[in-house]
Amino acid sequence: MTFQGWFLIIAFIAILLLLCKPVGQWLFALYEGRRTPLHLVLGPVETGFYRLSGIDPKEEQGWRRYAVHMLIFNATLLLFTYAILRLQGALPLNPRGFDGVSEHLAFNTAISFTANTNWQSYGGESTMSNLSQMLGLTIHNFLSAATGIALAFALFRGFARRSAATIGNFWADMTRITLYLLLPLCVAIAIFYIASGVPQTLAGSVDVTTLEGVKQTLALGPVASQEAIKMLGTNGGGFFNANSAHPFENPTALTNLVQMLSIFLIGVGLTWTFGRAVGNTRQGWAILAAMMTLFLAGTAIVYWQEAAGNPILHQLGAMGGNMEGKEVRFGIAASSLFSVVTTAASCGAVNAMHDSFTALGGLIPLFNMQLGEVVIGGVGAGIYGFLLFAILAIFVAGLMVGRTPEYVGKKIEAREVKLAVLAIAVLPLVILGFTAIASVTEAGLAGPLNKGPHGFSEILYAFTSAVANNGSAFAGLTANTPFYNGMLGVAMWIGRFFIIVPMLAIAGGLAAKKYTPATAGSFPTAGLLWTGLLIGIVLIVGGLTFLPSLALGPIADHLAMINGQLF
């Protein structure tokens, strides 16, 4: 570990903390449906869009209606993308003349992008036409991100409203988030990427002769624009197979920092928005503090392990940290930090190969996802997932101080506990259940590249990544098979929508409750104690379940490495 390494990590957190409030304020304006400076330019677009589609943005929806509209919208997009992928051979903007995508790959990919996962069982530059990338996939980068934020807004309204029957209008939320947040930010960030050397063209590829005299084809495309939303919307689906490790996606140390910041930007801002929505910004800071503590702990472990390197290689004379699978221009600190950011935030973009991390270095990204992507988490999804844990934490805390628990003025009762447990149980059920199926079936066992506990980690990582809607891959797993495409597709769908529906039900129930003012007898949910309790509950409820699987995967792998055995 070096001073520069730690400086990068501290600077990264400091910049985020500075950005938290302004971003949160902007999001709050959208949450409230207030006017922003951008309305001057984009306001007519918004109203024009409403008029065109016959939507009344002021028409409020109850949670069931909000959920149904959200599901119909996502299902429609899913079918749309599936059709484009299957038919890409017959569609325009296909300069390299790719054929239609196979049934199972199209199924997997369509779900993957709809569910804000961006798991990629394919290499982008060798499978997808420009039309597929821009219309079939990039559209989800915006809309799945906007869906996540809209759902977070809906839950915030549940906490903030009193004796209300509605939690907002899905279409208005979607429109405002896309128009006033995602699009303008992406334009700005894309311009910065272009300036940094990221390609932005509709041309297919260029042929070059390298210094060694070899002919090489360099794939090109509209990379900068996809890169911006890939990070901002915690999508993570790269234009190239190598994702952010590819020099065209992520050319410099500065683009690397901006990529990491843009992954966390909205997730961090939403914690502030939550606090503001419930009338006490300290509530938001308390949540952010809990998330950041978990994040920092994870980063420290990964950085420490990666910097320490592999003792077996040390004996062979290869001193220093673990550089296998890392880009030299980023180095150990930036790669470690990136891996924790991308897995903490359900992004899934990678600038290094997690499969090549040391065992414990690879355990943290895995564990981040198993916690349910609540450490900052995916845009919107992170905070609503975290609030589910907060409901359980406040329930236990409330009992311990002798009161029916209440959180930000809302009583947490049997219904909330039931739904929160239901949503939280989805994760272990699908992750462990599907991993179990894959570890005993022939089709499943055909996937992993490595043997022993490392191969098990590869399977576990894939299903964890899918259910948690992260989308990062441990590599090493041959996933483009009917078995894995199918299983992972189902896992991604369940991991997204089987959590959302109970979450919206909680939002609806909370909105209908009356407000209970806090007294000295109610437990203060804005202090250090609360932050500590949140961390404890996330680790115990979210983490303990996975201990046996981690023991058989990364931990066994790590111990074997210490004992001089590599897998």
Provide the binding-site residues for other proteins, judged by CB under 8 A: 392, 395-404, 409, 412-414, 417-418, 421-422, 424-425, 428-429, 432-433, 435-437, 439-440, 445, 452-453, 455-456, 459, 514-517, 519-524, 527, 529, 533, 536, 540-541, 544-549, 551-552, 555-556, 559-560, 562-563
Nearer to other proteins, 44 or 548 (CB): 548
CB of 374 to other proteins, least distance (A): 16
In whole angstroms, how close is the CB of 302 to other proteins at the nearest point?
20
Q: Which of 17/547 has CB closer to other proteins?
A: 547
Q: Mutual orientation of helices 253-277 and 139-160 as an angle, nearest 10°?
A: 30
Closest to other proteins by CB, 209 or 519: 519
Distance between start and end Cα atoms, the chain = 25
Give the residue with the Cβ less far from other proteins, 328 or 520: 520
Nearest distance from residue 533's CB to other proteins, in Å? 7
State in angstroms the smallest separation of the CB of 178 from other proteins.
Answer: 36
The secondary structure of the chain in percent helix, strand, coil, rounded to multiples of 5, reads 65, 5, 30
Q: What are phi and psi of 556, to 5 degrees?
A: -60, -40
Alpha-carbon torsion (30, 35, 39, 44), positive or negative? positive
Token duo for residue 371: 């916690």
Count of C-beta atoms within a 10 Å radius of residue 453: 23
By beta-carbon proximity to other proteins, the closer residue of 139 and 425 is: 425
CB of 445 to other proteins, least distance (A): 8
Of 376 and 423, CB closest to other proteins: 423
Burial class (CB in 10 A: 0-12, 13-18, 19+), 471: buried
Facing residues of 217 across strands?
207
Is 205 strand, coil or helix?
A: strand
CB of 428 to other proteins, least distance (A): 5
Rounded CA separation 130/136 (Å): 9
DSSP 3-state assignment of 326? strand
CB of 351: closest distance to other proteins in angstroms? 30
CB of 281 to other proteins, least distance (A): 19
Give the angle subtended at the CA of 223 by the CAs of 242 and 123, to the nearest 5°: 35
Q: For other proteins, which is the closer residue by CB, 107 or 546?
A: 546
In the complex, the smallest distance separating the C-beta of residue 458 from other proteins, rounded to whole angstroms, is 11
Give residue for tokens 């919307």: 233
Supply 411's token pair: 């009583």
Residue 148 to residues 68, 138, 283, 521, Cα–Cα distance (Å): 15, 16, 21, 35
Using the minimum distance from each CB to other proteins, give the nearer residue, 187 or 401.
401
CA distance 101 to 82: 9
Q: Which is nearer to other proteins, 300 or 425 (CB)?
A: 425
* Selection from 123, 159, 398 nearest residue 270 by Cα: 159
Q: Which is nearer to other proteins, 20 or 427 (CB)?
A: 427
Q: Is 10 exposed, middle or buried (0-12, 13-18, 19+ CB in 10 A)?
A: exposed
Q: Output the smallest distance, CB 546 to other proteins, in A.
A: 7
Give the list of residues 6+ apart from residue 79 with CB closer than 8 angstroms, or none. Answer: 110
